[in-house]
Every structure is written in C-alpha cells, then in structure tokens.
C-alpha cells in the first residue's frame, strides 16, 4: 500500500481519494475551503461537490498544501487548470524526486496553451515520473462504483504502469498509454466540443446535427494533436472519442449544460457567475484557438465556440458560419 496525496477536492479529486482509500492506501486530500474541509471531516461527505457519497473514515483531509506530499509515493493533481501551476510551485520544495506525479486535470493553461504535464515539466524540469489520467469518467458515477474505463499515460512505460496499477479497481479499469500529449489534448478539447454540443441541443437542432458535430469535433482534436506530435490513434481511444461522446451527450457534463443554456438564450456572464463549478471548456476554447493558429490547423468548431464565449456572437450566427464554410473534402 502507498501513501498518496491528492490536490483538489472537487468531484473528481474527491472520487479518486475515495477509490484509493477504499483500496487500502493512506490518502491525504487537500481542500482549499476551510469550511468544506471541516464538513468533510465531520460528516464524511463532500456536500458541495460530491453530495450523497460516503467517504472512508481512513481518508485524511487537510487545508495545508505543504502537508500533502509528506511521505507520499504518488501525488495526484486535480485542481482547475488555471491554478495548477501555482499549486505545483508551492508543492515542489516538499516533493521527493522519486514521487509519481499524476495530472487528472482536463484542461489547457489559459495563457500558454500548455497541457498540465507540460506545465509540470516547465516548473520541475528534472521530475522523473509524470503521468496523466483521462477518459470518459463522470465523477458521480465512478464514485458510486459504476463501471468505467480510463487511460493513464506517460512517456515512460514504468511510470504509466505504476499509475495504472495504482488506480485500477474492480469497477474502474485503467489502461496504460504512451502518448500523454494526445491523452491530454483529447481530455481538454472535448470540453470545448461539449459546449457546442449543448448549444446544438439548446437550439433543438436534432440528432443529425449532434452526430455531425461530434464527428467533426473529433476530427478537429485529432488534426491539432497530430500537428503537435501526438498520435492519431490516441484520439480514437478512451481519452479521445470515448470522453468526447460522453461529454457531448451526458447530462452530467457541466460543459454541455453550459452550452445548453447558451443555446436557450442565457448569457455567458450570467451562467459563469451563478455556478460554483469550473467549466474547463471556457478557458480551453481560447487556448485551443491559439494553438490552432500557432500550428496552422483549422478548428472551426472551437473558433465559433470561442466567438460565442468571448466575442458576444450569437449561437445561431455561429451555426450559420459553420454550415456555410467553403466546401472541402472530408479528410481535410
């Protein structure tokens, strides 16, 4: 059994903490909100982000970020993408060089367009073991023991196998992968496409439109990934097509729900102000468009989502512009 630190007590971080504690590992979960930390310790439930799910008595909770890595053989980062860099910098002085560093955050850094493992490499260039985790995984379902499958990927095979063995359970099947860039890009960009999918349903455009959007969205993320050095087959797997289909069709998807409300006429500012949860697709939309420009890749769906989110473009105008683009061959 290992000692594991988990940074981030949203729904997914709490779910991973629960699963690992139930496997018998010694798990410490970092919670930013002091009141929430006290409530979790008292009630053994994360009533804000994972209500109704009982947490193991053995799960330790702390509000001290520097305490999390002490004695750990693995550290899992599940923070929103925009704070991962600052949190990791604060953790770094306390980390043993041999610790497995695992990112379970599905997003891109807003300003740089870097994936989370790239951020970690930039902050800690001499880190030995960095892996990423992604795939179709609504926390609410995984936390209740419903079956799911994900991929843990690293450029180092031993690191990927370590992450795989650590996280695999009888209900969560984890595959090892060797293309962390593709896994992270799939996990991030699917959130942007999910916003568009929500808009499609919010505008009541039908099943045909949704199927076309998902298919062309997969093409966009694959095109960018290959241009950046990822492998095309990764996007046909769990972190690509698997997570894309789930997030574009499942009612538990926060990004899809955002798009659904946009399609029904709500404003972006109104939706973001009234929600306590992070919609990674919002920041990732702008980062993805920046990457598309940098690598000379066409990503029309991401571009139109970005225009709706940041340029006050109406969803119907975005749809019109997508449907009236210059005709092309399907593989272009």
Distance between CA atoms of residues 213 and 253, nearest Å: 16
Q: Strand 74-77: give its sheet, edge to edge.
A: 60-62, 26-30, 3-7, 74-77, 100-103, 129-134, 148-153, 172-177
CATH code of domain 188-323 = 1.10.1040.10
Residue the block writes with tokens 């574009």: 248
**Would the pLDDT of 243 be above 70?**
yes
**Would the pLDDT of 270 be above 90?**
no
**Would the pLDDT of 81 be above 90?**
yes
**Would the pLDDT of 277 be above 70?**
no
Instruction: Give me the pLDDT at residue 245, please.
Output: 98
Closest CA to 73 of 170, 4, 169: 4
Instruction: Out of 239-253, 268-282, 302-316, pick the least confident.
Output: 268-282
Prediction pTM value: 0.95
Q: At what angle do helices 180-202 and 207-228 cross, to 10 degrees?
A: 160
Instruction: Give me the pLDDT at residue 180, please.
Output: 98
Instruction: Give me the pLDDT at residue 8, please.
Output: 96
Instruction: Give me the pLDDT at residue 40, please.
Output: 97
**Would the pLDDT of 128 be above 90?**
no
Instruction: Give me the pLDDT at residue 135, please.
Output: 98
Dihedral over Cα of 317, 323, 327, 332: its sign = positive
Instruction: Give me the pLDDT at residue 278, please.
Output: 66
Instruction: Give me the pLDDT at residue 229, please.
Output: 98
Instruction: Give me the pLDDT at residue 225, please.
Output: 98
Distance between CA atoms of residues 296 and 96, nearest Å: 40
**Would the pLDDT of 143 be above 70?**
yes
Same topology, domains 3-178 and 188-323? Answer is: no
Instruction: Give me the pLDDT at residue 332, please.
Output: 73
Per-domain residue ranges of the chain: 3-178, 188-323
Fold entry, domain 3-178: Rossmann fold (3.40.50)
Please identify every residue annotated as catalytic: 190
Distance between CA atoms of residues 228 and 185, nearest Å: 10
HSE value, Cβ hemisphere, 13 Å, CA-based, for 132: 30
> Residue range 52-70: average pLDDT?
95
> Residue range 46-59: average pLDDT?
96
> Residue range 267-278: average pLDDT?
78
**Would the pLDDT of 28 be above 80?**
yes
Who's near 317: CB < 8 A, 6+ residues apart?
none
Instruction: Give me the pLDDT at residue 276, please.
Output: 62
pLDDT in tens, 166-219: 999 999 999 999 999 999 999 999 999 999 999 999 999 999 999 999 999 999
Tokens of 23: 């496997």
For the chain, strand residue ranges (E) read 3-7, 26-30, 60-62, 74-77, 100-103, 129-134, 148-153, 172-177
Distance between CA atoms of residues 51 and 74, nearest Å: 26
Closest CA to 144 of 310, 11, 245: 11
Instruction: Give me the pLDDT at residue 279, please.
Output: 79
Mean pLDDT over each residue of the chain, to the nearest integer? 95
**Would the pLDDT of 115 be above 90?**
yes
């Amino acid at each position: 059994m290992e000692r594991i630190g988990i940074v981030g007590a949203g729904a997914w971080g709490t779910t991973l903490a629960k699963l690992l504690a139930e496997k018998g590992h010694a798990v410490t979960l970092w919670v930013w909100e002091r009141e929430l930390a006290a409530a979790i310790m008292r009630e053994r439930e994360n009533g804000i982000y994972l209500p109704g799910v009982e947490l193991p008595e053995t799960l330790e909770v702390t509000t001290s970020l520097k305490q999390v890595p002490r004695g750990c053989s693995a550290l899992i980062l599940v923070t929103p993408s925009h704070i991962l860099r600052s949190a990791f910098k604060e953790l770094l002085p306390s980390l043993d060089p041999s610790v497995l560093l695992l990112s379970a955050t599905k997003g891109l850094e807003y300003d740089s367009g870097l994936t989370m493992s790239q951020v970690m490499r930039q902050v800690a260039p001499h880190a030995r073991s960095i892996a990423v985790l992604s795939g179709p995984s609504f926390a609410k379902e995984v936390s209740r023991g419903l079956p799911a499958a994900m991929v843990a990927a690293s450029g180092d095979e031993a690191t990927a196998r370590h992450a795989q063995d650590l996280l695999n359970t009888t209900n969560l099947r984890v595959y090892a992968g060797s293309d962390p860039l593709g896994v992270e890009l799939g996990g991030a960009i699917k959130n942007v496409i999910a916003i568009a999918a929500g808009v499609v349903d919010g505008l009541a455009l039908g099943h045909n439109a949704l199927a076309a959007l998902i298919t062309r969205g997969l093409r966009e993320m694959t095109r960018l990934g290959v241009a950046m050095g990822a492998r095309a087959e990764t996007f046909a797997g769990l972190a690509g097509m698997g997570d894309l289909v789930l997030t574009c069709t499942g009612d538990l998807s926060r990004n899809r729900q955002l798009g659904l409300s946009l399609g029904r006429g709500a404003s972006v500012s109104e939706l973001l102000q009234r929600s306590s949860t992070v919609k990674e697709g919002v920041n990732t939309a702008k980062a993805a468009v920046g990457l598309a420009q940098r690598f000379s890749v066409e990503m029309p769906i991401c571009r139109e989502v970005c225009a709706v989110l940041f340029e006050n473009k109406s969803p119907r105008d975005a749809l019109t512009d997508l449907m009236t683009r210059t005709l092309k061959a399907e593989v272009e």
